[in-house]
Amino acid sequence: MTDIKTKISEDVKLAMRSKDKDRLAALRLILAAFKQKEVDDRITLDDHQSTAILDKMAKQHRDSIEQFGQANREDLIKKEQQELEIIESYLPEKLSENEINSLIQNAISSTSANSLKDMGKVMAILKTELQGRADMGEVSRLIKTKLSDQ
């Protein structure tokens, strides 16, 4: 299986051939973010790091869409929505709420977490498993709820 970065690079070439300017711009934006991280940290990205960057970009686009909605800027919402769909197409499939709850319960059990003070331990375990597959803000809220009930 090819890595995410290689797949995106191949898709850039396809977008150039098909003259799909919007897709090409979004893909170049992703590659620029990858390159920036590689240069800043002097590393070569693996799929996990690439997924983390894509997840962060998706969150930024969702935030922008929300803000543009408040400002009634439909033109900007449409552009952000298109870019978000492209970014999300490279993220792993989202987990169902039941799958997320099951992973949270396993993490709580494995860390013997019993209060909100232990939330960091639980989040540390789940962060790598759920990166790009779930909204971490929502996961955090679910963990707080479960630890508060104990």
What value does the mean pLDDT of the chain take? 92
Share above pLDDT 90 across residues of the chain, in percent, rounded to a whole number:
67
Residue 28 contacts residue 16 (beta carbons within 8 Å): no
Share above pLDDT 70 across residues of the chain, in percent, rounded to a whole number:
98
- DSSP conformation class of 91: S
pLDDT one-digit tens code per residue, 88-98: 999 988 889 89
pLDDT at 2: 66
pLDDT one-digit tens code per residue, 110-148: 988 888 888 899 999 898 888 888 888 889 999 999 888
Confidence (pTM): 0.82
Q: List Cβ neighbours of 64 (8 Å cut-off, separation of 6 or more).
A: 76, 80
Quick one: three-class SS letters along 98-145?
A: HHHHHHHHHHHHHHCCCCHHHHHHHHHHHHHHHCCCCCHHHHHHHHHH
- Residue 59, by phi and psi: left (phi above 0), alpha (psi -120 to 50) or beta? alpha
Residue with tokens 């993220």: 91
pLDDT at 9: 96
pLDDT > 90? residue 40: yes
Q: Which domains does the chain have, with CATH numbers?
A: 4-88 (1.10.1510.10), 97-149 (1.10.10.410)
pLDDT at 1: 47
Mean pLDDT across 50-69: 94
pLDDT one-digit tens code per residue, 1-16: 469 999 999 999 999 9
